[in-house]
Every structure is written in C-alpha cells, then in structure tokens.
C-alpha cells in the first residue's frame, strides 16, 4: 500500500463515498440499539431470504459469527491524516514499490499484455492499482469479511451501507460458490488483492480463464482482469494520460483551480502553465483541469504541487475519492512505465 501506511490512511476519503445518507444511518442506529445480536441476525436471515439467498449459504457464512471489537476500534479511531502530499507520495510511491512493480510487470508481462488488449487499460495502470491497494498482494488484510461486515452492519452508525454490503457478500457465496473462509480483507470489508467491496466484486470481478468464479484473493490474472474491467467500466480512455505535474505562475487566478473548471491543454499553456521541468505543454485540445495537492496543517491550508489532470484522473477518483490516492496512483503508473 516499504514504510507502510495503514489501509485506513491510503483510503483517506473513501468513506465520504461509501457512507449513506445521515437519515438512513440515524434510522438504522435506532433499530439496532433496540435489538440484541441474535434477534438482529434472525432479521438479517429473513432479509437474505427475500434477496433469494439460501439458508445453506447464510448458515455457511454466518454460523458462529460475532461482532469483532477490533473492527469497531479501527472504525472509531481512524487516525487523523497528518502527512502532506510530498510525504504521502514518498511513502506510497517509494523507490522500493516502483522497483518491485517493474519486476512483477516483467514476470506477468504476457497476461498483463492480454488484459490490456481486452480491457483497454495499460499494464502499468493496472499494476499501480494493485501496488497501491495491497503492495502487489502482500497486505490484503487479515479480517474475515463476514465478521467485519456483520460488526459494522450491526453497529448502527453506518449500518445501512454495510448491511447492503453484507447481503452482497452472501450473494457471492450463494451465486459464485466462494467459500466464506476464503473471503478475507480489510476491517471495512474490502476484499482481496484489489480490495473490492462485495458490491464491486459482483459488478466487476472477472475470471480471466472465463470459467468459474473470480479469485481476487489468490490468482494474479483474475486480479488484473478485475481491476482493468473496473477501470474500463468507470470510463478509462486508453488514448489519454491521467495527467501530469506542472509549474504555474504565482499570479494565476485561484478560481481556475478545481475539477469543475475545464480548458484545453493549449488554453492552459496560454495561461502560463508549463511542464514540471519548465518545458512547454504539448499543443492539444484535450480538456484538462488544474488542481493542487494542498495540505492542512494546524487548521491552515498549505498550497501543494500543481497538476494538470484529464478525464482518466476522474476515473481514478471514482475508484477512491481521495485526491492524494488518485495522484499517487497516476504517479506510480508513470514510474512503472519509465526505465
């Protein structure tokens, strides 16, 4: 994800994306505080049946499952994000991770090339997501997914979202035949080497061989195909880059920063934006936005490095709605490409 950053830090802004509406959370909290766990679990079984999930699958996944106190500790005590972007980038896109990624791309060159041809996502981009999420499969999380999701669904604070993900996890067992014991991941229920939530698995996970279930826990080729399919479905454009680091004039109008402002690369050049090495931007009509990786220290906003980003950057933001994450993913992909 090497000076290791916890999964919680790397997914800095993910819960802004995951958390359901405040009212749903309040209602769920009111419901769960009135029920003991066995009663709540019995109600979940009824809901699972309504979704077509067999009792056999439900029992296989949830017999003996109890809330995990450590999951609640991690949920309640997510550390404050105190790294500025250069520090974050140094840790997440370390020389060791780049070197490791290049070696693994060479090892898996054949399948990555075929994956890129099928899903139209370059191998370095696929490898970058693999590397940032789990350090190329090394750190996938040791929590049982069903235990983690039961804990968060029963807890009440964000129960609506996690109850849905729990039903989706049961669907994976019921429809795909994945053994519940195989389904391990983060304390928040993200699974496998590409850290898919159950809903993401159901929509986008791919078995590279085309037979059987997608094994994002143990088969690198399924990890690659699943990540590439997800990015393609999110809108990845193989003809464009994700973005680039740039230099800007100190006098540039601050209102021009942000993903809601789009201008062609040529227009940005006219406004004095240049490549990071000081060279001119290419002449291009591709729409781009200018952003900065600002930091907050002591409540104050500190301007960070500037980037000109394209629509593929927005795709990375759909994977994880953290500017730091998306910039790091694009940077890692670039460094995996270069020799």
Examine residue 126 and state whether it is found in any structural domain, yes or no: no
Q: Kindly give the parts of the chain with pLDDT less than 50.
A: 1-33
Give dist(CA 28, CA 154) in Å, integer. 9
Q: What is the DSSP letter of 247?
A: E
Whether residue 272 is found in the same domain as residue 183: no
Q: Would you state the pLDDT for residue 301?
A: 76
Examine residue 166 and state whether it is found in any structural domain, yes or no: yes
Q: What is the pTM of this model?
A: 0.86
Q: Would you state the pLDDT for residue 303?
A: 84
- Rg over CA atoms, the chain: 21
Examine residue 54 and state whether it is found in any structural domain, yes or no: yes
Examine residue 283 and state whether it is found in any structural domain, yes or no: yes
Whether residue 163 is found in the same domain as residue 254: no
Whether residue 291 is found in the same domain as residue 156: no
Q: Would you state the pLDDT for residue 78?
A: 63
Whether residue 168 is found in the same domain as residue 272: no
Q: Which domain CATH number covers 57?
A: 1.10.8.350
Examine residue 234 and state whether it is found in any structural domain, yes or no: no
* Residue where one domain finishes, among candidates 130, 160, 194: 194
Angle between helices 55-62 and 159-171 (to 10 degrees): 110
Examine residue 273 and state whether it is found in any structural domain, yes or no: yes
Residue-by-residue DSSP string for 83-100: --HHHHHHHHT-HHHHHH
Whether residue 149 is found in the same domain as residue 61: yes
Whether residue 168 is found in the same domain as residue 266: no
Whether residue 60 is found in the same domain as residue 177: yes
Examine residue 210 and state whether it is found in any structural domain, yes or no: no
Could you tell me the residue range of the domain that residue 72 belongs to? 7-77+142-194
Whether residue 147 is found in the same domain as residue 279: no
Examine residue 254 and state whether it is found in any structural domain, yes or no: yes
Q: Would you state the pLDDT for residue 17?
A: 39
Whether residue 249 is found in the same domain as residue 156: no
* Residue where one domain finishes, among candidates 160, 175, 194: 194
Whether residue 163 is found in the same domain as residue 299: no
Whether residue 189 is found in the same domain as residue 304: no
Instruction: Indicate the number of domains in the chain.
Output: 2
Cβ neighbors of 303 (< 8 A, separation 6 or more) are 292, 294
* Residue where one domain finishes, among candidates 134, 165, 194: 194
Residues 244/276, Cβ–Cβ less than 8 Å: yes
Whether residue 305 is found in the same domain as residue 180: no
């Amino acid at each position: 994800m090497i000076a290791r950053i916890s999964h919680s830090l790397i997914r800095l802004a993910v819960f802004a994306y995951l958390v359901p509406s405040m009212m749903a959370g309040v209602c769920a909290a009111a419901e769960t505080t009135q029920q003991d766990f066995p009663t709540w679990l019995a109600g979940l079984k009824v809901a699972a049946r309504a979704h077509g999930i067999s009792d056999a699958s439900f029992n296989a996944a949830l017999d003996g499952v109890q809330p995990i106190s450590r999951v609640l500790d991690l949920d309640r005590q997510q550390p404050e994000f105190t790294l500025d972007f250069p520090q974050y980038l140094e840790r997440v896109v370390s020389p060791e991770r780049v070197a490791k990624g290049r070696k693994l791309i060479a090892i898996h060159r054949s399948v990555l090339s075929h994956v890129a041809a099928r899903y139209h996502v370059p191998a370095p981009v696929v490898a970058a997501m693999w590397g940032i999420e789990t350090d190329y499969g090394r750190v996938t999380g040791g929590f049982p997914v069903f235990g983690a999701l039961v804990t968060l669904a029963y807890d009440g604070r964000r129960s609506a979202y996690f109850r849905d993900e729990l039903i989706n996890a049961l669907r994976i067992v019921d429809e795909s035949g994945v053994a519940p014991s195989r389904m391990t991941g983060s304390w928040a229920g993200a699974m496998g080497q590409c850290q898919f939530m159950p809903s993401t698995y159901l929509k986008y996970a791919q078995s590279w061989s085309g037979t059987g279930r997608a094994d994002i826990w143990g088969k690198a080729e399924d990890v690659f195909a699943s990540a590439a399919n997800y990015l393609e479905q999110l809108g990845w454009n193989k003809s464009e880059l994700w973005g680039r680091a740039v230099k800007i004039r100190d006098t540039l109008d601050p209102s021009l920063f942000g993903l809601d402002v789009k201008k062609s690369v040529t227009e940005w050049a006219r406004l004095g934006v240049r490549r990071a090495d000081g060279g001119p931007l290419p002449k291009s009509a591709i729409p781009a936005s200018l952003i900065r990786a600002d930091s907050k220290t002591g409540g104050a906003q500190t301007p960070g490095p500037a980037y000109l980003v394209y629509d593929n950057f927005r795709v990375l933001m759909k994977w994880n709605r953290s500017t730091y994450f998306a910039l790091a993913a694009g940077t890692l992909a670039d460094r995996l490409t270069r020799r």
